[in-house]
Structure 1
Amino acid sequence: MSTPQRPTAVEVHHPTPLTPTHPMPLVPAQPAPVSPVASVVLPDGRVVTGYAIEPAKPETVVSKPAVSRTAVNIALGGIGFGAVCGGLVLLTTFIAALTALITQLITLAAVIFGGWIAVQILGTSSHRGGTTVNIRKAVIKRNHFHG
């Protein structure tokens, strides 16, 4: 008699779905022009037919400037700003020198005018409204002054 077999565990495999890949869109390219078929007759009378081989011509490349216009404009703006800053420094120096000159002129005028006023006030003048007495020649007798 045969022995009954036990059922074995069943393994179930589920397939992993593949993500669909999107192919790159194809860009239509212009086919290269086909050169015409040329036939050559050899001196012994045989005819050879084939395509004429022309040297490949390089594609014309549109020349772009080495530096963009924006970069050139920024550089020129920087140069102009530097020139203006130099002028502003000179202008500031000129204003400071002019201020110092005006201050010195005002000080000089005050000294000269103040000196003139001092001479007018403190200066001796013979035109004062009083009597000038020479004390050396005066004789004082009994509290009277005789000049």
Structure 2
Amino acid sequence: MYPEHSAHRPAERAVTVHQPTPITHPPTAPLARVQPGAVPSVASIVLPDGRVVTGYAISSAQPEPLAAKPPVSRAAVNVALGGVGFLAVCGGLLLLTSFIAALTAFITQLITLAAVIFGGWIAVQIFGASGHSGGNTFHIRKAVIKRNHFHG
């Protein structure tokens, strides 16, 4: 069943197991940025047990300078412009209401004038001073009423 070659026989096959070797890296300290041309100072610290640790002094990170802010913020400018727009609208509305009030007063005066003229014309027609054009004339004299009887 197996060929005569000895490498293919299971009983005679040699098994070699290889275990990977982990690679350990030494821990690295974070590097501090050094300005070109500037050499950081070396500091030494004596520990309580007598050991001396020497290394570079790490200065605290300086925040980058902020961009110069304008003297007035954009929000303040927007609020001011909104206020100016609101005042302009209120002024326009005040003029509009004044115009409507004046127009109402003008129309009221026209109606009153028409009533006076028309009423005067009617009065002239009724009580006209220019003679009689016809009709009946009634003379009213003092009447005496005694015991429900009219004596005139």
Band of TM-score, shorter chain: 0.3 to 0.5
Give the structure-1-normalised TM-score: 0.47
